[in-house]
Amino acid sequence: MGIEIERKFLVVGRSWESLPGTRFRQGYLSAEPGRTVRVRVAGERAFLTIKGEPKGEAKLARLEFEYAIPVQDAHTLLDELAQGIVIDKVRREIEVGGMTWELDEFFGENAGLVVAEIEIPAEDAPFERPAWLGDEVSADPRFANARLSVTPFAAWSDADRGAVRAGRAPRLG
């Protein structure tokens, strides 16, 4: 059993743009409250991932189980069974202060959205904040990939999209 503790932030600027990345195609077979079942193709590899409901004081930790699956099976699952849109993004991994940041640049209906995530060993674990880090959006459900597959960035209000592009979290509700 795995536990994922993750923090998510908006990204400011484009200094990361020239770094190499991996193209991801991912979708959700289930995205019900309390659990998600995701299929992901990452470059030449594919995975089935099951995630539980966020728990803990800051709601940053959740169960996560991930299994390698055949790439062709993943494409078929995405094409035939995924709910909503299939997420298209490039992930770049950036080492900062001995920890790995995953920076996701979205395309398609989520074009214009760029977020950075860091997995940490405990909810209160310290980490170095790179200069390109904007506001934290860990607790904002609109930034969950499962939600973006149903309500993509292109469907957000002009004001919310503008705030995000400036690295500011839009107001909830």
The catalytic residue positions are 28
- What CA–CA distance (Å, rounded) separates 21 from 99? 17
- What CA–CA distance (Å, rounded) separates 100 from 92? 10
Query: What residues does 65 pair with on adjacent strands?
Result: 50
Burial grade of 106 (CB within 10 A; 0-12, 13-18, 19 or more): buried
- What CA–CA distance (Å, rounded) separates 135 from 67? 32
